[in-house]
Structure 1
Amino acid sequence: MSLAAQRRDDVMSVSQAARALGVKPATVYAYISRGLLASTRLPGDRRSWLSRAEVDAFAHRRGARPAAGAGIVEEPVTTGAEPDTSTEVGGIVGNRLLYRGRDATDLVRSSSYGAVAELLWTGEPGPSRLRPPEQPVRDLLHRLQDTMPAASLPLDRLKAAAVLLGSSDPFRYDLSRSAVISIARTLAPAFVEALPTRAKAVDEQRTGDDLAARLWSKLSDAEPSAAQLSLLSGALILLAEHGPGPSTRAAREAAASEADPYSVVLAGTSVASGLLLGGGSSLAVQAWLEEIDSVTEVPRVLADRLVRGDRVSGFGQPRYPGPDPRAATMMALLADSGGDDDRQCIVGAVVDLVRSRRNLAPNAEFALGAMCFVHGMPRGAGEAVFVIARSAGWIAHAVEEYEATPGTTAALARG
């Protein structure tokens, strides 16, 4: 027997482990995300595999009852692109980002952020059911923001808003599916409400995406064009979910402890605000792009950063075998969105130089920082876009995690 064959005898696929444990594959992914089970890879195979002995020991500790025949079912071995790290909510397959099995870049052309959020939460495509917070909550948010320092970053305001929203919701510990999704439908609009207004929001009928229209008025002084709203709407959709990355793992860990949905989102936000992770790096991208005054300055500024030991952040995404598909779509939307012509040229020159010298393509965080740079948005606006967008994915993962947590399974079933 070859070494590869011996190794396959010692491991189980996620589906096999689910049958052995008598749970859904999503629950196995939840166990992996919580560190209760470890996954591995086999040569030439992109799937996640688990140690058969570890699964058997875990099943014994849990008192699981394996399904009939679970130990002898074999699955075909393939070397094609399969989910890297994924759950039923979403994940990466090859060079595609999937939401409930649907390509996220396709959704940009056919859906609004609210409709995509419904897909992530319920598994069913449908119209947006986002709704603004009630007037008493809006008044609380406005009073809170008035007390914050004028120099507060948008992310600081969203963190404070999450705490206030949770403390003012008497049903925040109702973890039934219906209650959690009800909270989710107000969360992104409440976050938008928490940001200072910079311009009058354009009419919803002109945009097709009310959330993007209202968010633009918080991030820019200028009335947006249709192309600019398409850019922001596309960014919200493409950043809504990315599989169990670092910020989502933090959100799932909070949900595994039966933290309320507001705390789940706050946990994800705290990790995402790191300069090396998630939307946080868009802040770094925006900052170093603002050091460049003209296209001719691009080589010098990048050289100076390297001499100082600074990172030229925003390029490469190791979770994809090729370029980040989110960035490709966002950069195309950015190129068509107008804004400052000189800054558009600077962004193009940076991308061309890094691609020619390091063979790296921009990632979604670069695209987000570049959007803020080209359209003169306040420092840290990209972080706010990221957190508002990703709140949908974090809540969807929280529901999945609550379902995998014994204490909430019955409540979810009732919900």
Structure 2
Amino acid sequence: MRDQEPAPMDAERRLSTREAAELLGVKPETVYAYVSRGQLSSRRVSGGRGSTFDAGEVEALARRNRRDGSGGSGSRASGSGSSGGGSSGGELSVRTRLTLIESDRYFFRGVDAVDLATRHTYEEVAEWLWTGRMLPGSTFTAPAGCVAVARRAVEALPEHASPADLLRVATVAAATADPLRFDLSEDAVLGTARTLIPTLVAALPPKGHRRRDEGLMAHRLWTRLSMRDPDEASLRALDVALALLVDHDLAASTLAVRVAASARAHPYAAVSAGLGVIEGPLHGAASGLAHRLLQDVLEQGDAAPVIADELRAGRRVPGLGHRLYPGEDPRARALFALLERIPRAEPALLAARDIVETTARHVPLHANVDLALATLTVSSGMAPTAGETIFAVARTAGWIAHALEEYGERPLRMRPSGLYAGPRPPQPLPE
């Protein structure tokens, strides 16, 4: 059951310990620590065992804590605490039941994500993330009218439009065709999820004259990314890539989605917020940089001069290292293992290995999922932007899972306070 918009605070209203803790974003015992330090006053409940707190006083303390960037002593440990967003060590932390990353592994609802991705289809993994239920044989179907609207919108864009442009426009167009988009109930949001993803893929222009709009999402997406006829191993690699990329905790785009959902934006708008973030070279577009690097290595036959050029230009070598995985990126390991079964992927695999080994002479970094995804796109005859498309389609499922989770939280909780660093008012009016 969703929390309601909190009532306006006033000096007459008293809060229970639980309500005060939720407003402050701390544990109940921390509320009493504030009392012992003289930061809050309490009043015993007549005839009861609990205490109550002045609402205005609690609100003032919450404002001070936000301004100071602290939640109080012992208020929050990294990755735990109250259900609201909070500050811990200067970083926003949000409680979620979706994805856990630890010890060079990641888990969807407690289940190893690599095991899920390699044993189930993208659609089945998406359903697991949304509902916590495994639904074998899951498929997604897009309404014909919605697809027609999205295609017309995408076809009106110039040829140089990026994948994020195409998908963002398709999302907005699909929203206009859905009169029920403002229904944020769980069933309605899940219905949107199951139709929006196939609509986005169907709206993408096909390569050549082929278009496939039925079957698994990986099969449909392939015809939008490559002129080649796929073999089963290549389709499986693409399907696993989609499943591996479904979610990755609070990445930048996912945080944008949760902020939108916190303001009760409908799912299409929340997905649009995520699509607006992934174009950055440090996020969804990173695989395109790795794709171009791989192509340069293949053309020159040696990674050393290519990497030297990257470093000389002051650029970091794309496709290497990940701040959440001190060791090996499990997504890269799983995808590389599949690509090793595809004979035509061997040149790109050797080039990727050359990049890692050449760089490791000075900085021992492992390949990350961007390099693995680039190896898939290069060996499949896809454009450098294909990895960004794969990432965006895959992550749409995760975005909707986070939006659905956020709809169950207190509205507008994703609203940090700014730490003002300008001149102190009052200042004279400018001349």
Q: Alpha-carbon deviations, 1:22-51, whole Å to 9, x = none?
A: 79xxxx8xx9xxxx859xxxxxxxxxx999
Q: Deviations over 1:281-307 (max 9, x none)?
A: 112212232223446331001101111
In the alignment, which residue of structure 2 is the partner of 1:327? 332
- 1:131 matched to which residue of 2? 140
Q: Distance in 2 between matches of 1:218 and 1:353?
A: 34
**TM-score, normalised relative to structure 1:** 0.76
Task: Name the counterpart of 1:147.
Answer: 156
Count of residues in Structure 1 that have an aligned counterpart in Structure 2 = 349
Residue in structure 1 matching 2:240, options 231, 234, 239: 234
2:362 match: secondary structure: helix
Deviations 1:91-113 (A, max 9, x none): 21322111011101101222111
Equivalent residue letter for 1:126: L
The alpha carbon displacement at 1:163 in A equals: 1.1
Report deviation, 1:313: 1.5
**1:400 maps to 2:405:** yes
**What is aligned with 1:190?**
199
Q: Structure 1 295/21 Cα, relative in aligned 2: closer, same or farther at 3 Å? A: farther
- 8 A contact 1:298–1:349 mirrored in 2: yes
- Separation in structure 2 between the aligned mates of residue 347 and residue 276 of structure 1, nearest angstrom: 19
Mapped partners of 1:337, 1:153: distance in 2: 29
The offset of 1:397, in angstroms, is 0.8
Instruction: Work out whether 1:303 is the aligned partner of 2:308.
Output: yes
- The whole-number CA distance in structure 1 between the counterparts of 2:387 and 2:405 is 27
Task: Indicate the residue corresponding to 2:177 in structure 1.
Answer: 168
| Match of residue 87 from structure 1 | 96
How far did 1:85 drift?
Answer: 7.4
Distance 2:169 2:191 in 1: 21
1:339 aligns with 2:344: yes
- One-letter amino acid of the structure 2 residue matched with residue 233 of structure 1: D
| Structure with the higher fraction of residues in helix conformation | 1
Hey, what does 1:291 align to over in structure 2? 296
Match of 2:353 among 340, 348, 354: 348
Larger radius of gyration: 2
Superposition pairs of residues 190-229 of structure 1, within 5 angstroms: 190-198=199-207, 200=210, 210-229=216-235
Query: Does structure 2 retain, via aligned residues, the 8 Å contact 1:294–1:342?
Result: no
Does 2:258 match 1:249?
no
- The alignment partner of 1:91 has SS state of strand
Q: Contact conserved, 1:202 with 1:213, CA < 8 A, in 2?
A: yes
* Mapped partners of 2:33, 2:101: distance in 1: 24
Corresponding residue of 2:276: 270
In 2, Cα distance between the equivalents of 1:359 and 1:135? 50
Distance in structure 2 (CA, Å) of the matches to 1:405 and 1:85? 12
State percent identity of aligned pairs. Answer: 36
* In structure 2, C-alpha distance between the alignment counterparts of 1:179 and 1:270, rounded to whole Å: 24
- Pair 1:50–1:275, CA change in 2 (3 A): farther
1:86/1:360 CA distance change after superposition, 3 Å: farther
Gaps of 5+ in 1: 1-19, 39-48, 63-71, 76-83, 409-415
- The 2-side partners of 1:50 and 1:340 are apart by 56
CA distance in 2, matches of 1:284, 1:360: 17
Note if contact 1:175-1:402 (Cα within 8 Å) is conserved in structure 2.
yes
How far residue 121 of structure 1 moved from its aligned partner, in angstroms, is 0.7
Change (3 A) 1:406 1:254: closer
Structure 2 unaligned regions, length at least 5: 1-16, 35-39, 41-52, 61-73, 78-92, 414-431
Counterpart secondary structure, 1:98? strand
1:334 is displaced (CA, Å) by 2.1
Note if contact 2:202-2:213 (Cα within 8 Å) is conserved in structure 1. Answer: no
CA contact (8 A) 1:201 1:213 kept: no
Residue 175 of structure 1 deviates from its aligned partner by: 0.6
- Residue 54 of structure 1 and its aligned partner are, at CA, apart by 11
Once the two structures are TM-superposed, the CA of residue 55 in structure 1 deviates from its matched residue by 10
2: CA distance, partners of 1:343 / 1:360: 19
* TM-score normalised to structure 2 length: 0.73
2:44 equivalent in structure 1: none
Deviates more, 1:165-174 or 1:128-137: 128-137
